[in-house]
Amino acid sequence: MEPTISSTASGSTMTIATNAGRAHNPSEDLVDRSLADTTHAPYWTDQVGAPSPCQQLLASKECDLAIIGGGFTGLWTAILAKEADPQREVVLLEAETIGFGGSGRNGGFISGSLTHGLAHGEAIWPKEMKTLVRLGNENLNAIVDFTKSEGIDADMRIVGKTAVALNEHSVQALEAMHARHAQWGEDSELLDRDQMQADVASPTYLAGLRVRTGSGLMDPARLSWGLKRAALARGVHIYENTPASFLSNQRDGGIALQTPLASVRARQVVIATNGFTPLLKRLQYRMLPIFDHVLVTEPLTSRQLADIGWSQNQGMTDVGNQFHYYRRTPDNRILWGGYDAIYYRGNRTNRELEHRDASHRLLAKQFFTTFPQLEDLRFTHKWAGIIDSTSRFTPAIGTAMNGKLAYAVGYTGLGTASARFGANTMLDLLAKRKTELTELTMVRRKPVPFPPEPLRYPLVQFTRSQLVREDLTGKRGAWLSLLDRFGVGFNS
Ligand SMILES: Cc1cc2nc3c(=O)[nH]c(=O)nc-3n(C[C@H](O)[C@H](O)[C@H](O)COP(=O)(O)OP(=O)(O)OC[C@H]3O[C@@H](n4cnc5c(N)ncnc54)[C@H](O)[C@@H]3O)c2cc1C
């Protein structure tokens, strides 16, 4: 998820920093009750309508292009490769099932931004921002058009979003954001406290910025499933429950991949494995896997909906390094995620780490602080997922093995649309085509690597503590300012 102002990850157990009078402090009993019957599963993939999984790879195979990873990056790469050349033999290997990773378990916010927001893009690539903004908008429009033309029922709505300020320094930040959005031609409106409360009712809101263009909401599982269907219809060979475990250069110039029961020999390979342990060692230094946590409530009754307003049904975030993102689902639940993003020492990504009660309890508490009028709501779903954070919040896209392998990882929590941009760029790189995409500084230069362990963990923790401090005081502090100077940070 894109932060509203800056960057973050945090494991702190603080409540929402708010100047809006005395913050409501929900009891532990309320949190216990609200989480008593919660299923540990992503709400999106727990719906009816999941396609049956494609079979595992049982016999060895040769192909032109092998794609590792069946999230948005892998699926778009497969679709775009087939559209460019229908004769190309394309194989996609997914370790679990399509949409298992971030693509099937995210907040469902979709944004045209390729630069993690306008302010960040202006700060690191001011000369290319015009191009990056145009490419981002074209990319988002292409996704919207594709879902329409393919009949993908992904509840895609370009409704923009509202950022809310919970303290005085965030109100000032919203004013700066408003000016920036206006300068880039976005439809944005500053809302004072009363206007904000009239739109969505929370005692914690001091002001809001309603941005109506450039982003929206969708159902990520249905988008993943729809892209899978589109890929299969174009003749892509998809194998699920098929982890690829080994990459080696072959004498005939190809690349060999090992899977549990068979091997794949490919002329070219794409790595689309996001924050999961990368097959290419060098990527371990380019990104941090960060666990992000989410809750979903039961459907709201019409009385509860009336108590809260939110008639525009847009996405919401709060301003700060540690921020929440929240939205309504098509069946009128509230998805509430973010804030408590956790890095585990040594880049660990094992599945048990998805179970972190402290993070889900903190989220529940903050939910009831924000919406005390919804105290009788219960949460039906909780989950966590891996976000691949780079030091500059935008992906690392490049090649290896003499240009026969391409990778795009590190969307830093804002990849539901930019995954398609990553896919397009990888295909240009593999074709050795010089294009507008391959010539971007974002592509030519890689993010500054994170230090290896044992240094990495304490540095992440220290930086987190400084981000928390900034949220509370509104002051950037010496350490964060120093990182800014080197264009380094980390983010959920
Ligand atoms: C909780 C959460 C909330 C988020 N919210 C948003 C949001 O609202 N908006 C937004 O823009 N972004 C959001 N993101 C980020 C977004 O989901 C990702 O950037 C995007 O889905 C990345 O797509 P991907 O295909 O690169 O990765 P993924 O969807 O993670 O796919 C990678 C796939 O690779 C597979 N894989 C890994 N290793 C192997 C292997 N060795 N062999 C075969 N397959 C392998 C995995 O099983 C996985 O399915 C969120 C992420 C999380 C976790």
Per-residue pLDDT band for 52 (boundaries 50, 70, 90) equals very high
Our mutation pick for probing the ligand 1 site, out of 276, 325, 407, 421, counting the most ligand atoms within 8 A of Cβ, is: 276
Q: 158 with 165: CB under 8 angstroms?
A: no
Whether the predicted pLDDT of 94 surpasses 60: yes
Distance CA 298, CA 176 (A): 36
| Cis previous bond, 203, omega within 30 | no
CATH number of the domain to which 72 belongs = 3.50.50.60
Pair 72, 175 in one domain: no
Per-residue pLDDT band for 10 (boundaries 50, 70, 90) equals very low
Structure tokens at 359: 């993070």
Pair 369, 245 in one domain: no
Pair 84, 94 in one domain: yes
Closest-lying ligand 1 atom to the alpha carbon of residue 93 = 43
Distance CA 379, CA 444 (A): 44
Pair 169, 67 in one domain: no
- pLDDT tens for 219-247 read 999 999 999 999 999 999 999 999 999 88
**Has residue 231 been placed in a domain?**
yes
Pair 70, 185 in one domain: no
Can you give the pLDDT at residue 252?
Answer: 84
Distant-in-sequence, close-in-space partners of 185: CB < 8 Å, separation ≥ 6: none
| Secondary structure letter of residue 449 according to DSSP | P
**Has residue 44 been placed in a domain?**
no
- pLDDT tens for 284-330 read 999 999 999 999 999 999 999 999 999 999 999 999 889 999 999 99
CATH number of the domain to which 358 belongs = 3.30.9.10
Mean pLDDT confidence for 468-490: 85
Pair 113, 141 in one domain: yes
**Has residue 46 been placed in a domain?**
no
**Has residue 427 been placed in a domain?**
yes
Task: Kindly report the pTM of this predicted structure.
Answer: 0.95
Per-residue pLDDT band for 24 (boundaries 50, 70, 90) equals confident
Determine if ligand 1 sits within 6 Å of the CB of residue 276.
Answer: yes
Pair 307, 384 in one domain: yes
Distance CA 393, CA 31 (A): 33
Pair 224, 278 in one domain: yes
Our mutation pick for probing the ligand 1 site, out of 240, 411, 418, counting the most ligand atoms within 8 A of Cβ, is: 411
Pair 437, 477 in one domain: no
Pair 72, 146 in one domain: yes
Pair 293, 384 in one domain: yes
Distant-in-sequence, close-in-space partners of 303: CB < 8 Å, separation ≥ 6: none
**Has residue 11 been placed in a domain?**
no
Pair 244, 382 in one domain: no
Per-residue pLDDT band for 13 (boundaries 50, 70, 90) equals very low
Residue ranges of alpha helices (H) inside 150-192 are 168-183
> Is beta strand 288-297 parallel, antiparallel or unpaired with respect to 334-338?
antiparallel
Can you give the pLDDT at residue 19?
Answer: 44
**Has residue 233 been placed in a domain?**
yes
Query: Considering only CA atoms, which of 34, 46, 105 is closest in space to residue 363?
Result: 34
State how many domains the chain has. Answer: 2
Largest CA distance in the chain: 70
Which domain, by its residues, includes 184? Answer: 28-36+161-213+288-389+455-485
**Has residue 49 been placed in a domain?**
no
**Has residue 45 been placed in a domain?**
no
CA 339 – ligand 1 centroid, Å? 18
